[in-house]
């Protein structure tokens, strides 16, 4: 009897295996399209260095992302670039980040300033760029630098943020005014 039951059970399993089965085709899962166009009003963004320390804070009244070009356009950005000595603050009429957000381009009425022991150093230009990985601020267009008693103009600028070196290039002019003495 047990032998007959085992034979019947084996026959049933083999018969079921032989019959065509309804094969359910698993649906193909595709990830959602993460290329989004979006627009923000009143934004604030903080970027950190590789050690997790804040290095760039940027805010403003408008931000727009174009998914096709992966360009983020900023309206009236205000920014702070942190350094060990003292932060650089600034503003511009427009700004933009491209691709992997490694470079911040500042365009139109750009003003950058830093307070130091000799007073406020102010840089003005029509365009500056901040390279985050290289930790530089540069301009390939004319810039004006002012500090109490000194005015400089140049055709280009490179600021090394970590070493605190400011390099001027192309047609540099310096006007230095000594403190006026009573006559």
* pLDDT band, residue 151 (cuts 50/70/90): very high
Whether residue 1 lies inside any domain: the answer is: no
Q: Give the DSSP letter of residue 26.
A: P
* Bridge partners, 174 (sequence order): 152
- Pairing mode of beta strands 88-91, 103-116: antiparallel
Q: Give the DSSP letter of residue 34.
A: -
Whether residue 69 lies inside any domain: the answer is: yes
- Total structural domains in the chain? 1
Nearest to 114 by CA among 163, 142, 153, 81: 81
Residue 154 has pLDDT above 90, yes or no: yes
Whether residue 151 lies inside any domain: the answer is: yes
Q: Which range marks the domain in which residue 68 is found?
A: 38-176
Q: In what helix (H) or strand (E) does residue 41 lie, and over which residues does it extend?
A: strand 38-48
Domain harbouring 71, CATH code: 2.60.450.10
Q: Note the pLDDT of residue 25.
A: 64
The Cα 142–Cα 171 span in angstroms is 9
- What confidence tens digit (pLDDT) does each residue in 60-99 have? 999 998 888 888 999 999 999 888 878 899 999 999 987 6
* pLDDT band, residue 14 (cuts 50/70/90): low
Largest Cα separation within the chain, whole Å, is 131
Q: Note the pLDDT of residue 116.
A: 87
Q: Note the pLDDT of residue 99.
A: 65
Whether residue 5 lies inside any domain: the answer is: no
Q: Note the pLDDT of residue 181.
A: 44
């Amino acid at each position: 009897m047990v032998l007959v039951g085992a034979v019947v059970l084996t026959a049933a399993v083999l018969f079921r295996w032989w019959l065509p089965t309804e094969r359910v085709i698993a649906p193909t899962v595709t990830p959602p399209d993460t290329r989004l166009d979006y627009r923000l009003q009143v934004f604030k963004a903080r970027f950190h260095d590789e050690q997790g320390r804040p290095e760039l804070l940027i805010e403003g009244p408008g931000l727009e992302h174009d998914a096709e070009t992966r360009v983020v356009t900023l309206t009236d950005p205000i920014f702070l670039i942190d350094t060990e000595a003292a932060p650089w603050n600034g503003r511009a009429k427009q700004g933009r980040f491209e691709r992997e957000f490694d470079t911040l381009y500042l365009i139109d009425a750009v003003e950058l300033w830093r307070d130091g022991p000799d007073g406020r150093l102010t840089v003005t230009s029509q365009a500056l760029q901040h390279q985050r990985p290289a930790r530089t601020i540069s301009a390939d267009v004319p810039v004006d630098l002012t500090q109490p008693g000194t005015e400089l103009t140049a055709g280009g600028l490179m600021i090394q943020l970590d070493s605190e070196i400011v390099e001027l290039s192309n047609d540099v002019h310096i006007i230095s005014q000594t403190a006026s003495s009573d006559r």
